[in-house]
Amino acid sequence: MELTMYDKLLQLPLFQGMSKFDFTDILEKVKIHFNKYEPGSCLVRQDTPCNQLIFVLDGEVQIESNDKTHKYTLWENFKSPNVIEPYSLFGMRPYFTASYTAVTEVNTLNIDKSYILNELCRYEVFNLNYMNMLSNRSQVIYNKLWNAHIGKTRDKIINFLLLRCMTPYGAKKLSIRMEDLARLIDDTRINVSNVLNDLQNRGLIQLGRRTFSIPELREVVQLLDKKD
Amino acid sequence: MELTMYDKLLQLPLFQGMSKFDFTDILEKVKIHFNKYEPGSCLVRQDTPCNQLIFVLDGEVQIESNDKTHKYTLWENFKSPNVIEPYSLFGMRPYFTASYTAVTEVNTLNIDKSYILNELCRYEVFNLNYMNMLSNRSQVIYNKLWNAHIGKTRDKIINFLLLRCMTPYGAKKLSIRMEDLARLIDDTRINVSNVLNDLQNRGLIQLGRRTFSIPELREVVQLLDKKD
């Protein structure tokens, strides 16, 4: 493993701040798998058990969250370096909450759960990074919960997205029937249709069949609470 | 420290599953503070830094969460054994999200953050308990987020409570002006007033001045999605 690879690994969430010395030590004890995914191939399927940490070293990944009960699917993307659902490895629901597919060529580093607890968590920096990451996630979501206020139709649609998206920025896509979205936000189909068409006219979303795409969620979020 | 005290400590969240041997070892290395609180005295104030784990060994504690921006306050209680906000010790918002007051006489065991990371997290059982607890919290809240659907006025009020309460059962109290609650759930004051009066007539809540009390949230939650 050349120096640049080390540097890349030390940029990964959870490994940040570790010394190269510790990292060499880890590589001797921990079994690490490197995987390569072609564009379009699936890294992880929603609702399958999460029993490893998957670090995305290179490339872009699409997240697909499907709510079967309420009949909609949400897509967003993320780029390397990143780690897939570190909050799904422990706890009472150790299953992936979404599916992850390679958009570009993707390289990953995978470590089994047993090594995380028995070896990696013995390193104070790694353990602190993990504790911080888990705590931060619940703090961010808790904050969302308390601020999940309801407004007019447009605000309700924006809040629906903000509550469910990993990040409040970047491209998103939602596949849902207008009547289902209207039902979920307790509004009428005609109001939902008017708001979505207005957003399309402003160039902020693209409407498709049972689908709409948002090139940049941040620009839509800026409309929150505006009168017009 | 007598045997019964050990047994009590080993029942605490985070210590469950540890051996008495490990626990004796911990007690030699870790500075532990025991505190006693009289009924009505405050253990922790909302928005103050969280730099210790506070284990509630005996007694009942009231949680008070105040949302200054949206002008309401929510109360609920919990009983020992418990630990106060283990998810606020790490992460980017290491502040208590609520105030905690003794309802009965309360005994606590406090451990500073430095000992948690440097000593306690070295014990695999403790660390696993902590990881599970943090992961579980984000899983529970994430699940709430995705299921935070909007319905008619009564459903919206119940959802408002469910999103914000620690537990979906037990006694709760909310101090809020009817017009503020109506605004937060995007409904009219008269609809909110009608629903709250109907719930009072059913014996499920007690209305006070700018306040309502719920003896058992579970019974109110059972009304969700019912037509009448």
Q: Residues A121, A172: one domain?
A: no
| Domain match, B130 and B27 both | yes
**Same-domain check for residues A171 and A111:** no
126-165 of A, contacting B, C-beta below 8 A = 127-128, 130-139, 141-146, 148-152, 156, 163-164
Q: Is residue A55 helix, strand or coil?
A: strand
pLDDT at B62: 97
Domain boundary, last residue among A134, A164, A198: A134
Contact between residue B48 and residue B59 where contact means Cβ atoms under 8 Å apart = no
Which of A68, A83, A150 best probes binding to B when mutated, by most B CB atoms within 10 angstroms?
A150
Residues A154 and A196 reside in one and the same domain: yes
Tell me whether residue B143 is in a domain. no
The last residue of a domain, from among B113, B137, B161: B137
B154 plus B214 within the same structural domain: yes
Q: What's the whole-number average pLDDT of chain A?
A: 92
Could you tell me if A130 and A214 lie in one domain? no
Question: Nearest residue on chain A to B181, judged by CA atoms?
Answer: A149
Question: Residue B21 corresponds to which tokens in the numbers above?
Answer: 């041997």
Residue B210: give the domain boundaries.
Answer: 148-221
As a whole number, mean pLDDT of residues A188-217 equals 96
Q: What is the pLDDT of residue A203?
A: 96
CB B50 within 8 A of CB B95: yes
Query: Which one has a higher pLDDT value, B55 or A144?
Result: B55
CATH number of the structural domain spanning residue B52:
2.60.120.10
- Whether B206 maps to a domain, the answer reads yes
Say whether pLDDT at A7 is over 50.
Answer: yes
Mutate: best of A97, A122, A130, A142, partner B, most B CBs <10 A: A142
Residue type, B216: E
Assembly ipTM: 0.87
CA distance B217 to chain A (A): 18
Q: Which CATH number do you get for residue B205? A: 1.10.10.10
Within a domain: A114: yes
**Chain center to CA of A13:** 14
Report which of A67, A97, A96 is spatially closest to residue A184, judged by C-alpha positions. A67
Residues A165 and A217 in one domain: yes
Q: Is the peptide bond between A49 and the residue preceding it cis, with omega within 30 degrees of 0?
A: no
Do B129 and B178 fall into the same domain?
Answer: no
Min Cα–Cα distance to chain A from B115, Å: 12
Using a CB-CB cut-off of 8 Å, the residues of chain A touching B91 are 131-139
Q: Is residue B86 situated within a structural domain? A: yes
pLDDT at A145: 85
Q: Cβ A88–B137 below 8 Å, yes or no?
A: no
Give me chain B's average pLDDT, please.
92
Q: Is A38 on the interface with B (CB under 8 A)?
A: no
Cα–Cα distance between A107 and A12 in angstroms, integer?
13
> Minimal Cα–Cα distance from B114 to chain A, Å?
11
Residues B28 and B90 in one domain: yes
| pLDDT of the residue at B38 | 98
CB contact under 8 A, B145 and A149: no
Q: Are residues A121 and A164 in the same domain?
A: no
Q: Is A49 an 8 Å CB contact of chain B?
A: no
Q: If residue A140 lies in a helix (H) or strand (E), which one and from where to where?
A: helix A124-146
Distance from CA of A38 to the nearest CA of B (A): 30
Domain tally, chain A: 2
Is residue A1 very low, low, confident or very high in pLDDT (cuts 50, 70, 90)?
Answer: very low
CB of B95 less than 8 A from some CB of A: no
| Cα A175 to Cα A150: distance, rounded to the nearest angstrom | 22
- pLDDT for residue B1: 47
**Cβ–Cβ gap A93/B184 under 8 Å:** no
B162 token code pair? 């469910």
Count A/B contacts: CB-CB distance under 8 Å: 143
> How is the beta sheet containing B206-208 ordered, strand by strand?
B42-44, B99-102, B60-67, B72-79, B172-175, B211-214, B206-208
Task: Report B:178-197 residues touching A (Cβ under 8 A).
Answer: 184-186
Examine the domain organization and report whether A163 and A110 are in the same domain.
no
A156/B186 touch (CB, cutoff 8 Å), yes or no: yes
- What does the pLDDT read at residue B6? 78
**B115 in a structural domain:** yes
Q: Which long-range contacts (CB under 8 A, 24 or more apart) does A64-68 make?
A: A64/A98, A64/A99, A64/A100, A64/A101, A65/A97, A65/A98, A65/A99, A65/A164, A66/A98, A66/A99, A67/B146
Q: Which residues of B touch A138 (CB under 8 A)?
A: 87, 91, 134, 137-138, 141
Question: A107: which residues sit within 8 A by CB, 6+ positions away?
Answer: A34, A35, A36, A37, A56, A57, A58, A59, A80
Nearest to B83 by CA among B63, B48, B57, B51: B57
**Cα A212 to Cα A206: distance, rounded to the nearest angstrom:** 6
Contact by Cβ (8 Å): B86, B130: yes
Nearest CA in chain A to B131: A90
Choose the closest CB to A184 out of B88, B93, B149: B149
Q: Cα distance from B183 to chain A (closest Cα, Å)?
A: 8
Partner residue opposite A146 with nearest CB, options B67, B128, B136: B67
Q: What is the pLDDT of residue B228?
A: 56
- pLDDT digits (tens), chain B, 228 positions: 455 777 888 888 899 999 888 888 888 899 999 999 999 999 999 999 999 999 999 999 999 999 998 899 999 999 999 999 999 999 999 999 999 999 999 999 999 999 998 899 989 999 999 999 999 999 999 988 887 777 889 999 999 999 999 999 999 999 999 999 998 888 899 999 999 999 999 999 999 999 999 999 999 999 986 655
Tell me, yes or no, whether A39 and A94 share the same domain: yes
Q: Which residues of B85-123 are buried (b: 16+ CB within 10 A; e: fewer)?
A: bbbbbbbebbebbbbbbbeeebbbbebeeebbbebbbeb
**Shortest alpha-carbon distance between residue A31 and chain B (Å):** 19
CA distances in angstroms from A63 to A97, A165, A173, B146, B198, listed in the order given: 10, 10, 10, 15, 44
Q: In chain B, which residues have their Cβ closer than 8 Å to the Cβ of A67?
A: 146
Tell if the CB–CB gap between A138 and B87 is shorter than 8 Å. Answer: yes
Chain B residue with Cα closest to A145: B163
